[in-house]
Amino acid sequence: MLHFIVKSIFKPAIFVKKLEMRIFKFGGASVKDFNSVINVGKILRLHEDDQLVVVVSAMGKTTNALEGIVEAFSKGNKDEIETLISALKDFHLEIIQGLGLNQNTSFLTEISAIFNQLSDKCCQPFGDYDFEYDQIISFGEVLSTKIINEYLQSENFKSTWVDARKLIRTNDRWREGRVDWEISENLIQAEINSVFENGNRIAVTQGFIGHEIGGKTTTLGREGSDFTAAIFAYCLNAEDVTIWKDVPGMLNADPKYFDNTVLLEKISFKEAIELAYFGASVIHPKTIQPLKRKTIPLHIKSFINPNEPGSIIQESLAFDDNIPSFIFKMNQTLISLTPRDFSFIVEENLARIFGYLNTEKIRVSLMQNSAVSFSFVVDHSKINLKKLVDFFQEDYLVKYNSNLELVTIRHYDEPTIDRLTVGKDVMLEQKSRHTARMVLKDLG
Ligand code: ASP
Ligand code: MG
C-alpha cells in the first residue's frame, strides 16, 4: 500500500513539464502569401510544448495599402477608395483560398463583414487625419490574425484569437500611442492567463494596435509590432521573445549595402538599443527597453531556417566589442538654424526648436550645436520641409542640404572610417568612444 502511494505521488512529477510562456512575432514579410502562412504553421509545430503568444503584423504590404486608403478617404475620393479596398480584399481572399479556408462559409462571412466595416467607415465624414489613420490602418492586423488563427485551428492547433485593441492601453496620441504599462499589464494578464487556463496553447494577436481610454483604436507607430511583442513579454513575465525575420538574425550591416555581413550571435540589450536607435532596421528601437527591464532575452531568427540559432540579445556586455557594425540611413536632410539676432543656442532657443519638432512628430537622427547655430538631420521623406522653413525663417536663418547619407559605425577604427568616406564630403561628424557618426555627401 505504502509502495503504491509513493509511486502515485512521484509519477506525475516525472512527466509534467512546466509550460513556458513565450512570445513570437511574425512581421508582414513572414505572412505575405499563403505559403508563408503555412511556413508559420510549421514553425509553431516545433514549439507545441510551449504556451505561445503569437504577435502578427498585417500581411505583406497591407499597411502601405491602407495608408493609400486613408489618403483617398481624406480627399473624399470615393472611386479610388472602392478600387483600393477591393484590391485589398482580393489579396486577402487569395491567401484564404491558398490555405483552403474558402470552404468555411461562416469564416468567409466574418471576413466580408470586416471589409464592409472598412467600406462603411470610409463613407462617414473624415475627421482628424491622425485619428482616422489609426481607425483604418488597424484593419490590416485584424485581418491577418483572423486568417492565421483560422488556419491554425484548421490544422488542429489549440489556438485562439485575441484582440490586442482591448489589451494594450495607450494615451490618445494617434499614430504614436504611449503605453500605460500598469493598465496594460492588468488587462493582458487577465486575458492571456484565462486563454491558457482554458486549454489553449496559442494566442494569436495583433502587433501595432491598442486603445485609448475611450476605447478608440490607437497605433504604436509604423513597424510597431516588435514593440507589441515586448509589451506582452513584459506584462506576462515571459520566458523569452522571438522575432522571426527574413534574415539570419541581427547582422553587422544591412545586406542591401554590404556583401560580407557577419551575424551578431550574442549582444547585450545596451548594444542592441544603440544599434536600433541609430537605425538598424531589424528591430524597432522601442522593443529592447521593456525586455531589458525584466531581463527577458530576445531571439532574432530566420523564418526560412528556423533551426538555425540566430541572434540572442541579452544582459551580458561581454560579447559586444568584437565586430564593428555599420548602419546607413539614406535620403537624409541636414538642417541648420541660426538665430537672426545671433543669440546663443541655449535653453530658450532649444525649447522652441524642440517644441516644434515634438508637435510635428519629427524624429531627429542626429543633432549638434555651436554657439549660434543648431544643426540636425532628419529623414527627408518624413518631414514637410517647406512648413519647417516657413515656421522658422522669420527668426532664424535656415539652411538645408538634402540627399545625404548618415553613417553610423559602432566599434569603429580609423581605417574603416577612411574607407567609407572615399569620394564623399563629410558635412558633419560625431565621435564617442564606441561610435562614429558621419553625415556624407556623395561627390560623384
Ligand atoms: N503593420 C505595421 C507596419 O507595417 C506594423 C508592423 O509591421 O510592425 O508598420
Ligand atoms: Mg512590418
- In this predicted model, what pLDDT tens digit does every residue of 300-355 receive, in sequence order? 999 999 999 999 999 999 988 778 899 999 999 999 999 999 888 888 889 999 99
Residue 7: pLDDT above 60?
no
Ion ligand 2: residues, CB within 5 A, are: 27-28, 57
Class of domain 325-442 (CATH, top level): alpha beta
Residue 8: pLDDT above 60?
no
Query: What is the C-alpha to C-alpha distance for residues 323 and 83, in angstroms, rounded to an integer?
Result: 49
Where residue 2 falls among pLDDT bands split at 50, 70, 90? very low
Domain ranges across the chain: 20-245, 325-442
pLDDT at 322: 74
What pLDDT, in 10s, does the model give residues 382-436? Answer: 999 999 999 999 999 999 999 999 999 999 999 989 999 999 999 999 999 999 9
> Is there an atom of ligand 1 within 6 Å of 138 CB?
no
The bound ligand whose nearest atom lies closest to the alpha carbon of 208 is 1
Distance from residue 264's CA to the centre of ligand 2 (Å): 22
Q: Write the DSSP string, 161-193.
A: EE-GGGT-BB-S-TTSPPB-HHHHHHHHHHHHH
pLDDT at 15: 60
The ligand 1 atom nearest the CA atom of 27:
7
Amino acid at 178: R
Q: Which residue is associated with the grid cell 496559442?
A: 202
Query: What is the C-alpha to C-alpha distance for residues 425 and 440, in angstroms, rounded to an integer?
Result: 6
Distance from residue 25's CA to the centre of ligand 2 (Å): 10
Residue located nearest, by CA, to atom 2 of ligand 1: 223
The ligand 1 atom nearest the CA atom of 224:
8
Query: What is the C-alpha to C-alpha distance for residues 226 and 24, in angstroms, rounded to an integer?
Result: 9
Residue % of the chain over a pLDDT of 70: 96
Query: What is the C-alpha to C-alpha distance for residues 127 and 216, in angstroms, rounded to an integer?
Result: 14
C-alpha cell at 167: 489589451
Residue located nearest, by CA, to atom 5 of ligand 1: 223
> Is there an atom of ligand 1 within 6 Å of 225 CB?
yes
Q: What is the CATH number of domain 20-245?
A: 3.40.1160.10
Contacts with 305 (C-beta within 8 Å, 6 or more apart), sequence order: 248
Q: Which element (helix H / strand E) includes 205?
A: strand 202-206
What pLDDT, in 10s, does the model give residues 37-83? Answer: 999 999 999 999 999 999 999 999 999 999 999 999 999 999 999 99
What are phi and psi for residue 12, nearest 5 degrees? Answer: -60, -35
> Is there an atom of ligand 1 within 6 Å of 326 CB?
no
Residue 208: pLDDT above 50?
yes
Strand, coil or helix: 145: helix
Amino acid at 265: E
Where residue 13 falls among pLDDT bands split at 50, 70, 90? low
Contacts with 283 (C-beta within 8 Å, 6 or more apart), sequence order: 226, 243, 250, 272, 276, 298, 300
How confident is the model over 177-193, as a mean pLDDT? 98
Query: What is the C-alpha to C-alpha distance for residues 78 and 67, in angstroms, rounded to an integer?
Result: 15
Query: What is the C-alpha to C-alpha distance for residues 274 and 295, in angstroms, rounded to an integer?
Result: 17
Distance from residue 56's CA to the centre of ligand 1 (Å): 9
Distance from residue 233's CA to the centre of ligand 1 (Å): 18
Residue % of the chain over a pLDDT of 90: 85
Which mutation among 139, 217, 222 tests ligand 1's pocket best, with the greatest number of atoms within 8 A of CB? 222
Query: What is the C-alpha to C-alpha distance for residues 65 and 73, in angstroms, rounded to an integer?
Result: 12
- Tell me how many degrees the CA angle 318-324-329 measures, rounded to the nearest 5: 125
pLDDT at 38: 98
Note the Cα 266 to chain centre separation in Å: 21
Q: Which of 354, 325, 336, 334 is closest to 406 using CA atoms?
A: 334
pLDDT at 112: 98
pLDDT at 1: 46
The ligand 1 atom nearest the CA atom of 140:
1
Q: Radius of gyration (Cα) for the chain, nearest Å? A: 24
Q: Write the DSSP string, 254-274.
A: -TTT-SS--B--EEEHHHHHH
The bound ligand whose nearest atom lies closest to the alpha carbon of 56 is 1
